[in-house]
Amino acid sequence: MLFRSKRQGVRCFITTQSSTQAVPSLKEFADGTALAINVSAVSNRLSGHDDYFFRLVPDVTQEQRSIARRLDGLPGRRLLVLQDTSNPAYTDPAFNVLITVLNRSGRWQVTRHRLSVPNFDPKRDKHLLEGDYDAFYPLAGSFLPMIGNIAQLFHALHPKAPIM
């Protein structure tokens, strides 16, 4: 679709591509024949290029450093991270930045579960949210509706624990 649209003269694209989809499309905006304005991809593989791929969100490094600082301001020690595997261009580097920053403070004991968030089944996967946790971070993106369901289930199990 993008290639055909560019051949037809479209020169500006506003996209909601996830990082996994946006990274391969970066080359299409390197030569200045079209401009992309992306509202959601945060992969640091999109950062630092002199190109025509413009993002309205900070890159994953800035985002995760900010989240880690926020977590360090919360009470507690036990953090549950549920990492989505369906958008690895975002969630893999995001987790790496997050855990690096959190390890510097040494305060948080992080439990990480990797799974496909779109395929989350509350009956099958509820056990992943059970346990003694002080905070929860569903590390997922791409506008996945299931994130809300997972957050609600975690809240039902841990009504006083904050959700990032």
User: pLDDT (tens digit, 9 = 90+) per residue, 60-110?
Assistant: 999 999 999 999 999 999 999 999 999 888 899 999 999 999 999 899 999
Task: Collect all residues with Cβ–Cβ distance below 8 Å to 47 and sequence separation of at least 6.
Answer: 59, 61
Instruction: Tell me the C-alpha distance between 160 and 164, whole Å.
Output: 13
Beta-sheet strands, E only, within 46-162? 53-55, 78-84, 109-115, 135-139
Q: What is the mean pLDDT of residues 18-27?
A: 88
Q: What is the pLDDT of residue 2?
A: 63
110 in Cβ contact with 79 (< 8 Å): yes
What percentage of the chain exceeds 70 in pLDDT?
98
Instruction: Tell me the C-alpha distance between 71 and 150, whole Å.
Output: 19
Comparing CA positions, the residue from 38, 148, 147, 130 lying closest to residue 86 is: 147
Q: What is the mean pLDDT of the chain?
A: 92
* pTM, rounded to two decimals: 0.81
pLDDT band at 20 (very low <50, low <70, confident <90, very high): confident
